[in-house]
Structure 1
């Protein structure tokens, strides 16, 4: 299976890859999202270590069971060959109704078919009030970049 664009990435093709990832994650569909990763993909997400699509799928199901109304924005940070770095923000509420904004950085490494074989994510969470939300769903074409704070 090939998932264009494929490496080596240019700044333009990396931006396409980043937007495709954002769009997929905003579906909150673990089966769809998992197809972007190799069968033996290796992840570090916060303090969790995963290997392979089955573990990724299970992780995402659990994630979106507890991160309700999840909405994400990703932004290209750097690109080199088969690697892309992104920064991101997402907002969600927990089952008690508390809203959160999560900030982080990811490092991605791809195989020759454009599937991600490695993902490392560092993430920090900040409590917010519902009135402070600024990510209200999938990205709109006219939406400006998000501030970091």
Structure 2
């Protein structure tokens, strides 16, 4: 039996936005094994200077990421979609082990198989050091509450 991850392509505005929010919620839980299940077995990524291939490498990548990016909180926003592709912009806040806070801004391009699993993920990211008083993402660790503003509402 093959696995599926609804909503399935072809996407509508509603289903693409649902897919984006599901991805945001999963990443905010910071569970590498769980996050990896949204990706095809041989999913290919480009993330900064790393190029993980397959769920095992994705899990290893995410373990390293969240060991470095502490108190990670992410907001994703649908940018565009068509058939089996979604473009996303996002920002996340985190601090390093010295206590320096950052806001990382990025764009992702996603391509899905007919089963709704992501086959390709291309991500470009820039990090901006910020002071703790400039943080905008203050919800408790875990998924962003439904009433918390999104990127556009925050002027990001």
TM-score, normalization by structure 2: 0.93
Measured after TM superposition, the shift of residue 148 of structure 1 is 5.0
CA deviation string 1:41-98 (max 9, x = no partner): 0000011111000000000000000000000000000000000000000000001111
Root-mean-square deviation over aligned CA pairs: 1.0
Q: In structure 2, how many angstroms separate the alpha carbons of the residues matched to 1:148 and 1:80?
A: 26
Q: Which has the higher strand share?
A: 1
TM-score, normalization by structure 1: 0.97
Measured after TM superposition, the shift of residue 143 of structure 1 is 2.2
**Structure 2, unaligned runs of 5 or more:** none
Q: In structure 1, how many angstroms separate the alpha carbons of the residues matched to 2:117 and 2:55?
A: 11
Residue 40 of structure 1 aligns to a residue in which SS? strand
Cross-structure match for 1:34: 36
| Equivalent residue pairs, number | 149
Residue 145 of structure 1 aligns to a residue in which SS? coil
Off by >4 Å, runs of 4+ in structure 1: none
**Structure 1, unaligned runs of 5 or more:** none
